[in-house]
Structure 1
Amino acid sequence: MLSRTRTPRALVLLTVLAVGTLGLTAPVEAQPAPAHTERTVAAKKAKDPRRTRGLFVDRLMPAAKQGGVYRTRIGTKSQAFWVIPEAYPTGQVRSKVRAYTKRALAAKKTPVITVYGIPGRDCGSHSSGNPITTAAQYRKWIAQISLALRKQRAIVILEPDALPLFSSPVTTCATKPAGWQAMLRYASKTLTRSGAWVYLDAGHSNWTPYDTRAAALKSAGIAYARGFSTNVSNFRSTTAEKKYAAVLLKGLSRLKVRGKHYVIDTSRNGAKPSADGNDVINPRWARVGKAPRLVFRGAFDGTLWVKHPGESDGPVNDGPSSGRWCDRLADRLLSRVDSGRC
């Protein structure tokens, strides 16, 4: 919810060798890849432009269009392009996404996209109103996004909050769709095939309990994705999120899912959260966090601004409806005098 989103290893075919006159066969051990093949794979990874070209700063993002201090302090930072079916239905989403990625590639930067359209998202709270209501509709929508992302070398945050909401053992979600794992698997696999780096959203460190979340990630297709995202639209510290990510990585490793990476949303984690952790709808204490930056340190790929600072989480704490820009909210995040305007 807005309030608070690798390809499998190829199978190695084992040849068999006839032994004796009994007609028995025994597998021959797979030989290691030649050194030149390993070097070729490593070279391809090193040449991926996402490792060097920086994140796209889109001048069409809300803060940039506001001008003034909002542009200079928020709008000059890379922020994700949110792809939602209300704004970009199946018949239009391909052209809209490609228009964004073309702007990014023209600037020689990496496009960052948030896909937020799974049926039942947000459990009917502040981001309800999704026109996609069935798995078949969702697959068609995702397929069009995938076509738009071919050869664009994008970063994709996949379905913020969906997995932790739908897999929670304690939180009831009245709008949880049947087969949600299969929908996320399809999206993860299909978008990855387009060449995107897909990060399946895993909630945040204060979203407890999460002892079964690694298993939920596996069921939802993390094997196809580059990894997972944390803290999307939330306020937990980067340190806390790294510890949380380490727990998930260890859990995935126990499930034989290894080599995954993660990113952290730092758009609004520049202040210590409230003690109970429940004040997460336009909280007055929140501040912008460190600027987005990819670093590629071990499993940690870096930080992103997924949530747009200054956009409302919902009609709470003087905010307008979810997704709308509000000067007052941006002022709070920037430690400025409240303008009183929304």
Structure 2
Amino acid sequence: MLPRPVAARAGATAVAVVLGTVGAVGVTTASDAEAAARPKDPRRSQGLFVDRTMLAYQQGGVYRSRLGRVPQSFWVIPEEYAADTVRDDVHEYADDAAAARRTPVLTVYGIPGRDCGEYSSGNPLTTAAEYRAWIRQVAAGLRSQRALVVLEPDAVPLFGGPAGACPTKPPGWHRMLRFASRTLSRAGAWVYLDAGHSSWTPYTRRAAHLKASGIKFARGISTNVSNFRPTRAEKRYAAGLLRGLRRLGVQHLHYVVDTSRNGARPGADGYDVINPTWARVGKRPRLVFRGAFDGTLWVKHPGESDGTEHGGPAAGQWCDLLADRLLGRPESGSC
């Protein structure tokens, strides 16, 4: 269901997406002057990083111009980036972004039991101790790099679902997420703990699960990762979760929405989420910092398969046919 990177990073360069900034005009006080004198966080003003090693960029042509030149998240998974190498790999990516004066965006996807044995199973990390050691190395690579991190897509809604619905749910999963949220945040990352999407019901206890999973250490939540829900529905969903968290004593949180593939109204079957034929690419990412809404990201990589349905290859592999569908172009007929 979720993408996996298939090529090692090397020699990335950057293209910018202009981001919005917010401010206020008023009477200047001593505290205002002190705040103005402090260094401003570059994530509020600079563009998001475009990595030329991404598969869409490597395809060239229309795939590069319409997909590959758009900032997308770098997926950090233990199959590709093991504990003994992930620190350097992550640091290289973040350094490339810093050299381009752009903000690095990463998705950390390595919790044991992820995806409940479905398309993104096969995780080499099987214990909490292995996961914590891996997360420490990811955090070491991100220290002081001012990154955005989407943390463990689907984990909270999958593991927090009905008993028996996820045969691979690991014991102590709340504590693992709590450790990751705290450790990555202490390294200077803005962490968005993933909260599923608006059509993933029931979610009456999701706010409680987010609290138990260390949301208080994070900047906020992410929604719609690798899914297709309209942005308007995701904003309502996120706002409801944040209200629920405020009632639980967790305040001042923010959220981001994945818009990589939500450019069309979902089909009648809301569970058709593996390369659905009706999906289209969504609006380009843009950070706006409007109240609790930090903005939109492309977390899932358009053109990379969710799994072997609707003509797709294995999860994470590039497919011209899938990219053509998302762009509304005539299908190439193959991957």
Is residue 310 from structure 1 mapped to residue 303 from structure 2 by the alignment?
Answer: yes
Q: How far apart are 1:179 and its partner, in Å?
A: 0.2
Distance, in Å, in 2 between the alignment partners of 1:140 and 1:260 is 27
1:41 deviates by 5.2
Structure 1, unaligned stretches of length 5 or more? Answer: 4-34
Cα RMSD after superposing both structures: 1.4
Amino acid at match of 1:2: L
Q: In 2 relative to 1, CA 230–39 (structure 1 residues): closer, same or farther, beyond 3 Å?
A: farther
Task: Give the 5 Å matches for 1:189-200.
Answer: 189-200=182-193
Q: Which residue of 2 aligns with 1:237?
A: 230
Structure-2 change in CA distance of 1:321 and 1:180 (3 Å): same
User: In structure 1, what is the Cα distance between the partners aligned to 2:34 and 2:163?
Assistant: 47
1:167 matched to which residue of 2?
Answer: 160
CA–CA separation in structure 1 for the residues paired with 2:170 and 2:153: 15
Structure 1 residues 271 and 167: CA distance shift in structure 2, 3 A: same
Query: 1:125-144, aligned counterparts within 5 Å?
Result: 125-144=118-137
Instruction: Name the structure 1 match of 2:49.
Output: 56
From 198, 202, 210, the equivalent of 1:217 is: 210
Aligned pairs for 1:35-50 within 5 A: 36=30, 40=34, 44=38, 47-50=40-43
* Distance of 2:162 and 2:251 partners within structure 1: 25
Match of 2:291 in 1: 298
Call closer, same or farther: CA 1:326–1:171 in 2, change over 3 Å: farther
3-state SS of paired residue (2:216):
coil
Structure 1 residue 51, shift from structure 2 partner: 0.2
Distance 1:244 1:117, change over 3 A: same
Aligned residues of 1:165 and 1:171 also touching (Cα < 8 A): no
- Name the amino acid aligned to 2:227: N
Distance 2:274 2:32 in 1: 48
Which residue of the partner structure matches residue 60 of structure 2? Answer: 67
Relative distance call for 1:171 and 1:70 in structure 2 (3 A) is: farther
What does residue 261 of structure 2 align with?
268
- The SS at the match of 1:183 is helix
Match of 2:77 among 79, 84, 90: 84
Q: Once structures 1 and 2 are overlaid, which stretch shifts more, 163-172 or 73-82?
A: 163-172
Consecutive unaligned residues of structure 2, counting only runs of 5 or more, are 4-28
Letter in 2 for 1:136: A
CA apart distance, 1:137: 0.2
Which protein shows a greater Rg? 1
- Aligned letter for 2:157? P
In the alignment, the residues of structure 2 paired with residue 128 and residue 40 of structure 1 have an alpha-carbon distance, to the nearest angstrom, of 50
Matched, 1:257 2:250: yes
Q: Distance in 1 between matches of 2:90 and 2:276?
A: 31
Which of 174, 195, 201 is the equivalent residue of 2:194? 201
What is the letter of the counterpart of residue 270 of structure 2? G
The question of 1:118 aligning with 2:143 is answered no
* C-alpha distance in structure 2 between counterparts of 1:274 and 1:224, whole Å: 36
Describe the SS at the equivalent of 2:175: helix
Residue by residue over 1:233-259, the C-alpha shift from the partner in whole angstroms, topping out at 9 and shown as x without a partner, is 000000000000110010001001000
Aligned equivalent of 2:26: none
CA deviation string 1:159-178 (max 9, x = no partner): 00001000013770000000
Deviation, 1:102, is 1.0
For 2:2, the aligned partner's letter is L
> 3-state DSSP class of the match of 2:47?
coil
Question: What is the aligned partner in structure 2 of residue 156 from structure 1?
Answer: 149
Q: Deviations over 1:33-92 (max 9, x none)?
A: xx7567645764x71000001100111111000000000000110000000000000001
Structure 2 partner of 1:18: none
> Could you say what secondary structure the match of 1:98 adopts?
helix
Aligned to 1:331: 324
Change (3 A) 1:108 1:276: same
Identify which range, 240-249 or 164-173, moves more after superposition: 164-173
One-letter amino acid of the structure 2 residue matched with residue 148 of structure 1: G
Q: Residues 74 and 131 of structure 1: is their aligned pair in 2 closer, same or farther, counting only changes over 3 Å?
A: same
Q: Distance in 2 between matches of 1:279 and 1:232?
A: 15
For residue 156 of structure 1, give the secondary structure of its aligned residue in structure 2: strand
Residue in 2 aligned with 1:14? none
Q: Which residue of 2 aligns with 1:2?
A: 2
Q: Is the 8 A contact 1:100 1:111 kept in 2?
A: yes
- Distance in 1, matches of 2:157 and 2:186, equals 24
TM-score, with length taken from structure 1: 0.88
Identity of aligned residues (%): 67
Structure 1 residues 120 and 264 mapped into 2: Cα distance closer, same or farther (>3 Å)? same
Deviation, 1:113, is 0.2
Q: Which residue of structure 2 lines up, in the alignment, with residue 177 of structure 1?
A: 170
Instruction: Provide the TM-score with structure 2 as the length reference.
Output: 0.90
| C-alpha distance in 1 between matches for 2:141 and 2:35 | 26
